[in-house]
Structure formats: structure tokens, C-alpha cells
Amino acid sequence: MGKNSTIDTKEQILNAAEKLFASLGFAGTSLRAIIREADVNLAAIHYHFGSKEELFSAVVRRVAEPIVEEQLRELTILEESDNLPSVPEIFTAFLAPPLEMIQQGSEECRIHAQFMGRCRAEPYPVQKLAEQEFRNSQQRFLYILTKVLPHQSPTELKWKLDLVVAMLVRTLNQMEQSEIFSEDNLVEDIDEVVQRLVTFVSHGISA
């Protein structure tokens, strides 16, 4: 019972923190507000996370891990093929996992998407905390792009990939205001959005 209680408390804090970070941002979210939202005391936050920065990183990690895992799984399939993958195949593997998160249609997934979008709007020191959790995935994708597009420098491709990330998080951040994410045809809408973004990105990356 004690172990389950510990897990529940940690999840309560993560859920409350993510909701507040997503709507108010890092600077606008106080530990006091998280305490109220999670219905815990300050000692619980310090025990599980130590500081506000460490709590923010833990929230990012919880959102990032399943996305990065799926991105790398799909990328590995492409890498194991006898032929080099195409640019559209690479960006389908990169963009589909975070966007498909929305298909589940739950409030939790919507908060995840809003939180990811908000991270990109944070000042650089906070952005850096978020970027660390996605670094492994982005480095792997950058490496395969340098093999597929050898005429472009790694610096140029890194810059372009960063623009793709900015486009992705803006899409996630604007999802609730966009009619393309209507609940009636969510699965078909997401598939169509992925393909539209892949087509758009592929032309820009290859240019």
C-alpha cells in the first residue's frame, strides 16, 4: 500500500505540474500552485523531484519517452533496409509519433500536446531542459539525413531540422484551435496532417 501511495503521489504531482506548465508556462507556474493543484505538500515535491527545474524535466521526460521510443523504432526499421530511405520516409517516422499521440483523444494527450508546444515558447534556459529529452532522437535523425542528403552540410541540415521541430510544436500547440483536429474524424485527420506536413517538409529539406 505504501508503494502504491508513493506512485500515486508522484503521478499527482506530475499531472498537476504538466497541466499548469502547459497553460501558464514555467515562469508563470509556482510550486505553491502545483501544491494546490496536486493536493500535496511542499515536502512531497522536494522528496520526489528536488526543485521546480527537476520537476519540469521530469514532466518533459514523461511526455518525450514514448514519442522518442516510437520515432527510433520506426527509424531503425528504415536503417535496416537494404536501401537508403527517402526523405519523406524519414520525416514520416519523425513527425507521425508525436502527432499520432493526439489520436487517442484523451484530455491527457491534449495536455501533452499543449505542453510540448509551450516548451518551445519558453526562454532558452527552459527550452534547453526540454530539448535534452529529445536530443537522442534528433541526433539519430540528423545522422540519417546527412547520409541521404550528402550534398548538404550537417550545419545546414541541423538548422532545417530545428525548423521542422518548430513547425511541429506549433502544430501541436494550435491543435485545439484548429478544425483539422475535429473529434469526428480524428484518425483520418491526423493521417492527412502527417502526410501534408511530410510533403511540405520534404521539399524544404531537399532544396
The reply to whether 47 falls in a domain is no
Is residue 193 a part of any domain in this protein? yes
pLDDT the model gives residue 3: 46
Task: State the virtual CA torsion across 98, 102, 104, 108 in degrees, nearest 10.
Answer: 90
Position 25 in a domain: no
Residue 45 lies in a domain: no
Q: Count H helices, E strands: the chain? A: 9, 0
In a domain, 105, yes or no: yes
Q: How many domains does the chain have?
A: 1
Q: Answer whether 60's CB lies under 8 Å from 25's CB.
A: no
Contact of 49 with 58, CB cutoff 8 Å: yes
User: Which residue range is the domain that position 91 belongs to?
Assistant: 62-206
Closest C-alpha among 27, 201, 46, 30 to residue 119: 27
Q: What is the CATH number of the domain that holds 150?
A: 1.10.357.10
In a domain, 23, yes or no: no
pTM for the model stands at 0.84
180 occurs within a structural domain: yes
Which whole-number Å values give the CA distances from 153 to 36, 48, 137, 159, 198, in the listed order? 50, 43, 19, 10, 21
pLDDT at position 168: 87
* Residue 72 falls inside a structural domain: yes
Tens digit of each residue's pLDDT, the chain (207 residues): 444 555 589 999 999 999 999 999 999 999 999 999 999 999 999 999 999 999 999 999 999 999 999 999 999 999 999 999 999 999 999 999 988 876 666 788 888 888 988 888 888 889 888 888 899 999 999 999 999 999 999 999 999 999 999 888 888 777 655 544 455 544 457 788 899 999 999 999 988
Give the model's pLDDT for residue 175. 62
